[in-house]
A and B are shown apart, each in its own frame.
Chain A
Amino acid sequence: MIVIKNVSKEFRLHHQGGSKINVIKNCNLEIKKGECVALTGSSGSGKSTLIRMIYGNYLYNSGQISIDGEILSFKTPRKTIELRRSKIGYVSQFLRVIPRVKTIDTVLEPLLLNKIGYKKGIIKVKKMLKELNISQNLWELSPSTFSGGEQQRVNIARGFIFDYPVLLLDEPTASLDNKNRDVVLSLIKKTKKKNTAILGIFHDQEIRKEICDREIDVSLMK
């Protein structure tokens, strides 16, 4: 589902003496349907960079990334938008809030973009928000004033609401208490059963043991 071939990434900082930072060199990785793979490595080793490259948020300097047989390239931004709409779900570390947009609409958006009707969609969204213990009096509010954990759960709801074939998770449980952490774990397990290819960063070793099939050490991709 996700195929990464000989991908390298370096950052060139023009305003800091033109310094070059090699983050990833010759990465080869394949993640199949229904597989959950964890990225490991110390902080700064390039885990989030790799995830962002697969989401098309960072571009790569050489090699090739493809999603479900379609090449993801910075040269074809419209294709990336289309792949994100239909194939790639992404839960980032932080929710990027759009001011004034209600929680319920924030979570509903991926469904509407995929032509799932409002009526059907809203039922799904309500179920998801309940499952993630987001109290009902928050649904009509914009998440901009929510606590970190609440924002993160809205973010998770948005990532899991549509059955994307590929799901990228960047520390989805980082700011959650144990109860909500368990909810997210069960969501991930359910998603795996739907044959989704999952690539994630999980700092908690127990979580990795519980849900992941393999671990890949990013610090070795140098």
Chain B
Amino acid sequence: MNNILSVKSLTKTYGHQIGCNDISFDLHEGEVIGVVGESGSGKSTLLSCLAGRLKVDKGSIKFKSRTDVKEELTEITEVRRRYLSRTDWAFVHQNPRDGLRMDISAGGNITERLMALGQRNYSSLRSKALNWLSKVEISTERIDDNPTTFSGGMQQRLQIARNLITEPRLIFMDEPTGGLDVSVQAKLLDLLRKIVIGLNLSVIIVTHDLGVVRLLADRLIVMKSGEVVETGLTDQVLDDPQHEYTQLLVSSVLQF
């Protein structure tokens, strides 16, 4: 099968508190899965476990590497995890300040991953940085400015450029549009959509914004209290929700 990620019975607890319980799903290459649920439902815990930022208590996460080898992520070394997180994965944080270095220039931010992988040719790095700035619709004149001088939406787009420059295959997104005003959200969503389709990326996107998943996700996972309560085709789950909690979630969205 062309699963890039297979998750089986993943469980994570914080003492007595359940983070996420017995989660299983597969992610195909080129597929976008949305994870929705209220705050505290365990969606960010799940994402952090998958990206190796949290230690898993039980269960298995198998990742297919570029050489088609299945790696068990709960057993890999820290060195390997760091390597994968620089080359094969990207993690887009809700708050761009968590994913950017605020005290180095935009260009420096974009090319840091490449430099960490040993690229040293300054002019090639700079032209790649310029190329990615224009891809994420930030004026190339801003290449030498620090992200502290950028607006929230620009910071978020810079974070995306910084993450995608190594052409990762698997993207984790944690509320990528949270905290942005709606016009900036639309721009960011359009950008994400183009990049995801254009580069055939596999994505797990955690959000509580149902509009975002309708636009981006092929399939949906609905979580409540650390458990998966419903899964399915995105528009089917949103238009014909079966579980009590999903119905509440969908009917709570304001229509205008």
Contacts and interface: CB of A to CB of B under 8 A. Distances in A.
B233 interface: yes
Nearest to A11: B240
Interface stretch (B106-114, B146-154, B171-179, B184-192): B184-192
B75 interface: no
Interface string A31-68: 00000000000000000000010001111000000000
A78 B28 contact: yes
Contacts of B131: none
B43 interface: no
B86 interface: no
Interface in B224-251: 232-233, 235-236, 239-240, 242-244, 247-248, 251
Contacts of A12: 242
Interface stretch (A94-102, A171-179, A204-212): A94-102
Nearest to B244: A14
A52 B239 contact: yes
B239 A101 contact: no
The size bracket of the interface on A is 10 to 19
Interface residues of B, number: 22
A99 B189 contact: yes
A209 B236 CA distance: 33
29 contacts: A12-B242, A14-B243, A14-B248, A15-B244, A15-B247, A15-B251, A52-B239, A52-B240, A56-B233, A57-B236, A57-B239, A57-B240, A59-B236, A59-B240, A59-B242, A74-B233, A77-B218, A77-B232, A78-B31, A78-B219, A80-B233, A80-B236, A81-B218, A98-B190, A98-B193, A99-B186, A100-B187, A100-B190, A101-B190
Interface of B: 28, 31, 186-187, 189-190, 193, 215, 218-219, 232-233, 235-236, 239-240, 242-244, 247-248, 251
Interface of A: 11-15, 52, 56-59, 74, 77-78, 80-81, 98-101
A-B complex: 10 closest residue pairs judged by Cβ atoms = A14-B244, A77-B233, A99-B186, A58-B240, A100-B190, A14-B247, A57-B239, A77-B219, A77-B232, A80-B233
